[in-house]
Amino acid sequence: MARRKMSLHLMRRKTVNAVMLSLTGLCTFIATGTLLYILGYLFVHGGKNLSWDFFTKLPAPVGEAGGGMANAILGSAKLLLLATAIGVPIGFLGGVYLAEFGGNTFAYLVRYVTDLLNGVPSIVIGIFAYTLIVLPQGHFSTMAGGLALSIMMIPIAIRSSEEFLRAVPLALREGAMALGASKSKAILTVVIPAAKNGIMTGIMLNLARVAGETAPLIFTSLGNRFWSPGWEQPTASLPVMIYTYALGPYEDWHQQAWAAGFVLLALVLAVNIVARLMLSRQAHVIR
Amino acid sequence: MAASTTSAVKARPSGRAQSFQQRLRAGDDLAYAVTLAAAITILAITALLVYELYVHSTLSRHKFGWSFLVTRTWDPVAEQFGALPFIYGTVVTSVIALLLGIPLGVGAAIFLAELAPPKISSGLTFLIELLAAVPSVIFGLLGVFVLIPILHKLEDPIRSALGWTPLFQGPFYGVSMLSAGVVLSLMIIPFIISISREVILAVPNDQREAALALGATRWESTWDVVVPYAYKGITGSIFLSLARALGETMAVTMVIGNDPKINTSLFAPGYSIAAIIANEFAEAPGEMYTSALIELGLVLFALTIIINGAARLLVAGTSSKGGT
Amino acid sequence: MTRKIMRAAMAAALLAGAALAQQVLINCGGATFPYPMYSKWFDVYHKKVPALAFNYASIGSSGGIKQVTEGTVDFGASDGPMTDEQMRQFREKRGSNVLHFPTVLGADVPTYNVPGVTGQLNFTGEALVGIFFGKITKWNDPELVKANPGVKLPANNILVVHRSEGSGTTYVWVDYLAKISPEWKQKVGVAGSVNWPVGVGGKGNEGVSGQIKQTPNSIGYVELIYAVQNKMSYGKVKNSAGEFVQADLASVTAAAEKASKTMPDDFRVSITNAEGKGVYPISSFTWLLIPEKIADATKRKAITDFLKWMLTDGQNETEALDYAKLPKPVVDKEMKAIAKIQ
């Protein structure tokens, strides 16, 4: 009697086991499947609408078909260049500080604030850049947009630099010092080069993330239907064009939005894949 | 890190050797100064950010006080502004995102960590982490042209199944809180999967083996032993995703409908804090309007800090890698 | 590898910078109502005078007013004239007056997407008020059926689409609604941005038309050209003479006729619900908002030259895009007013 009851109970547990485990498989399937489907959709749709014009022409007047996003592509490139030029040095040096001179309460504060800044929504950073740069200067500009993006890059640059520097084995550092190097010389000639790969991939991932940011640009670099000379004028950018065109009524705009989405996503994913591959290769080497 | 090195040898070397040592130590000081300056810059930027938000929202804060947080009206003509509809929209869409994202995300994480063969697990995880890199505006693009038409088709089944609840009443026009919530869930699932999977992998094997040795089924060992062990980390990942969802701008603003009203029905359009700032900031007519928008930004800032803070506490509380 | 790419990028940026150093970029922005017209004009003008590029940001009339007041654009554009208070704020911030220059005449049309209805629906002013108040909720409401005998209107819910941001198109629309309904005037008011009783918000004329195109059973208000360019259905509106009139060059020009004879010096005037036969009741001028004092001489000349061109050759381009030309008395008056810009 007891035996039969026990095996029923056991069967129930086994069924639950089978069911729940398959459910988790289903979850994975749904999650990955949905995401892959929509990305596939983007690639197919976007690829269809790519054209030479897209890369070389300026936008056409409203309502007329044709034109392209050449100025947006250049604009995005300029914004990212500026963001990297400002954000990476500050982030990297901050990471060096935390990794090499950290350990005290001040470092703890810096880490806390970095995480805080990292969590700030990009739209709020856009407001910040507007009040800080656009208002006093009196106009929208590539510079304001680039600065907004650089503020977004800094926290990630700090944390990833710190992580990769910390990952350099103690033995390397001590070896340098045993050979008579001062701390700064050890950092400069031994530690940083050892962490070089990781730091580079960190920068690449950071860049890829910021390349797709739209919100901070809406009221800093605004937009431009023409080329934007220098750094003091508003500029078009890929993400903002996608936003504007997707919401408009013109079929032609929708097609261009898809094409722009394709280009943006392809670049972001390509950089991500390369960076992660480099990282995993390096991980094998260090171990 | 170890303290400054060669100070043990305090004996004065003469001539050229002395200046070399001095130069070395000067290099140390320079390195320290430069990196310290960078670290201070971060503090300065964040402090300045809070300051600017605070100062530029003064008009609105003085006029409305704390009632700003609980007022429903958003009337530009009468210059009466309240944050409640936006807080509501932000919270509701994020909750929908979590309700959809947590089961799918944690379920997939369990599968990837416990059940899948290692190659498949790392392959799929690689793919999923790539998806975490997709920009928000692209999710918005897909939301408008792919998701909303799909939801239109699903409207009738949903209505017949759940139409009796106040959550699914009223007409459905595509742009709605439901659509925004679903888009958000797609955006946070990769995060939940990625972090939860790592946390589950970090659970020591002896926990699993002990459970199995005691006769537990695979599922029981996972659900009753491993997951509770990793509970803090998983909850942390959920909080982090929540923080991300709260601040998400582009994807939400493209599908939420931009209506500053509070509706119980998820089929109705709504508005989130980030969305209204994105839509109206460049155009806000008048000082009070702009000030109110910036105050909204301040509210959002505060919200994300609180959630992020809670998340950090939880994730840091798990074993192995202390803090992400 | 990365270094090579960086170097190439810098070189490209420098070259582009050098080539463009000759070009004068004038930033302007505002109303989406005339955006197709302005974008065409600026394109044509740029081909005529390649050294000048007018970069127009279509951010809505309120955006135009705000940005020109802040000085972040060289001049703005709006379909709702600036209020006295807004002009006072401009004087305070920028130290001079702001001048209104009408450019074209356009119309707000009620555009809709009703399954099964392909022709033009007739709307009375009261019907439009009811719809936007949320009192008329279904397409087969008696008020709509009465005005459209013989048309099969479905029993579906109406989705109202309005603007999510401050807009002159909105201003014109609610200005008209307020003239029809004192209740609207009192409860909702007339401004670029109002507390809408019902509906979803689209960004810009572009966003509203985009939304309506995507959403069955919706209705909204857009400038005529957006409905035409996108082959969307738009309705006739009943004017003060009792006729159902479609927005077109003739009916919009008729709306401005009386006002053009009594145009005030500052050009701020409302022509909604104008009297007369054949008048389209939701018509409006749209204005460029130009500071009286422009410090930069190059920009000042560029802007005044453009204004002169706009009032002469430019007016020949308007009809192709369904915007009505400015009446002659108005053009003459504006030409004289250009001299005010210092």
Q: What is the ipTM of this complex?
A: 0.84
* Domains of chain C: total: 2
Q: Do C67 and B282 touch (CB under 8 A)?
A: yes
Split at pLDDT 50, 70, 90, the class of A48 is confident
Measured at the CA of B120, the angle between CA B114 and CA B122, to 5 degrees, comes to 80
Question: Are residues C116 and C196 part of one domain?
Answer: yes
Query: Could you tell me which of B323, B268, B265, B272 has the C-alpha nearest to residue B296?
Result: B272
CATH superfamily, region A52-286:
MetI-like (1.10.3720.10)
Range of the domain at C159: 109-255
Q: Which tens digit of pLDDT belongs to each residue from A85-103?
A: 999 999 999 999 998 887 8
pLDDT digit string (tens) for chain B, length 324 residues: 444 444 445 555 555 666 777 766 767 888 888 889 999 999 999 999 999 999 999 988 898 888 899 988 888 878 889 999 999 999 999 999 999 999 999 999 999 988 888 888 888 888 888 888 889 999 999 899 989 999 988 888 888 888 888 888 888 888 999 999 999 999 999 989 988 888 888 888 898 889 889 888 888 888 888 888 888 888 888 888 888 889 889 999 999 989 898 988 999 999 999 999 998 887 777 788 889 999 999 999 998 888 888 877 776 654 433 333
Average pLDDT score over chain A: 87
Query: Could you tell me which of C104, C123, C125 has the C-alpha nearest to residue C114?
Result: C123
Task: Tell me whether residue C29 is in a domain.
Answer: yes
Cβ contacts of A187 on chain B, cutoff 8 Å: 31
* Domains of chain B: total: 1
How far apart (Å, rounded) are the C-alpha atoms in residues B19 and B301?
51
How far apart (Å, rounded) are the C-alpha atoms in residues C338 and A18?
82
Task: Tell me whether residue C308 is in a domain.
Answer: yes
Question: Are residues C95 and C117 part of one domain?
Answer: no
Give the Cβ contact number of residue B322 at 10 Å. Answer: 9
Q: Considering chain C, what percentage of its residues have pLDDT values greater than 70?
A: 94
| Chain C residues contacting B via beta carbons under 8 Å | 59-60, 62-63, 65-67, 86, 157, 159, 164-166, 188-196, 199-203, 211, 214-215, 217-218
Compute φ and ψ for C76, nearest 5 degrees. Answer: -115, 180
The residue assigned the tokens 């508005």 is B271
Query: Could you tell me which of C63, C83, C59, A140 has the C-alpha nearest to residue B285?
Result: C63
Contacts of A264 (CB under 8 A, 6+ apart): A211, A212, A238, A239, A242, B135, B138
Arithmetic mean of pLDDT, C137-144: 93
Radius of gyration of chain A (CA): 25
How far apart (Å, rounded) are the C-alpha atoms in residues C82 and B223?
65
Query: Could you tell me which of C116, C123, C156, C107 has the C-alpha nearest to residue C235?
Result: C123
Task: Tell me whether residue B76 is in a domain.
Answer: no
Question: Are residues C143 and C92 part of one domain?
Answer: no
Question: Are residues C169 and C158 part of one domain?
Answer: yes
Instruction: For residue A61, give the DSSP letter.
Output: P
Task: Tell me whether residue B265 is in a domain.
Answer: yes
Query: Could you tell me which of B276, B241, C68 has the C-alpha nearest to residue A124?
Result: B276
- Mutate: best of C85, C163, C164, partner B, most B CBs <10 A: C164
Note the pLDDT of residue B324: 34
Cβ contacts of B86 on chain C, cutoff 8 Å: none
Q: Which tens digit of pLDDT belongs to each residue from A161-203?
A: 998 888 888 888 888 888 888 878 888 888 888 888 888 888 9
Specify the pTM: 0.84
Task: Tell me whether residue C85 is in a domain.
Answer: yes
Task: Tell me whether residue C147 is in a domain.
Answer: yes
Q: Which chains have 3 or more CB–CB distances shorter than 8 Å to chain C?
A: A, B
| Residue C316 tokens, joined | 């020949």
Going from the C-alpha of A194 to that of each of A170, A190, C179, C297, the distances in angstroms are 12, 6, 75, 57
Range of the domain at B153: 83-284+307-316
Split at pLDDT 50, 70, 90, the class of C10 is low
Cβ contacts of C165 on chain B, cutoff 8 Å: 279-280, 283
How far apart (Å, rounded) are the C-alpha atoms in residues B291 and C229?
38
Q: Which tens digit of pLDDT belongs to each residue from C84-138?
A: 988 998 999 888 999 999 999 999 999 999 998 888 999 999 999 999 999 999 9
Arithmetic mean of pLDDT, C318-327: 89
Contact C216, C161 (CB under 8 A): no
Contacts of B157 (CB under 8 A, 6+ apart): none
Q: Residues of A numbered 114-143 whose beta carbons fall under 8 angstroms of chain B's beta carbons: which are they?
A: 114-117, 119-128, 130-132
Torsion sign over Cα C289, C295, C299, C304: positive
Question: Are residues C121 and C192 part of one domain?
Answer: yes
How far apart (Å, rounded) are the C-alpha atoms in residues C52 and C24?
5
Split at pLDDT 50, 70, 90, the class of A251 is confident
Task: Tell me whether residue B5 is in a domain.
Answer: no
Task: Tell me whether residue C180 is in a domain.
Answer: yes
The residue assigned the tokens 């070397």 is B13
How far apart (Å, rounded) are the C-alpha atoms in residues A153 and A84?
8
Note the pLDDT of residue B18: 61
Compute φ and ψ for B275, nearest 5 degrees. Answer: -65, -45
List the single residue in A with minimal CA-CA distance to C206: A248
Question: Are residues C236 and C122 part of one domain?
Answer: yes
Question: Are residues C58 and C39 part of one domain?
Answer: yes
* Least confident among B128-132, C151-155, C311-315: B128-132
Question: Are residues C100 and C113 part of one domain?
Answer: no
Note the pLDDT of residue C165: 83
Note the pLDDT of residue B14: 57
Note the pLDDT of residue A122: 92
Query: Could you tell me which of C334, C296, C294, C290 has the C-alpha nearest to residue C314?
Result: C334
Which domain CATH number covers B102?
1.10.3720.10
Asked if residue C48 has pLDDT above 80, the reply is yes
How far apart (Å, rounded) are the C-alpha atoms in residues C169 and C81?
11
Top mean pLDDT of A137-141, B17-21, B27-31, C285-289 is at C285-289
Which domain CATH number covers C192?
3.40.190.10
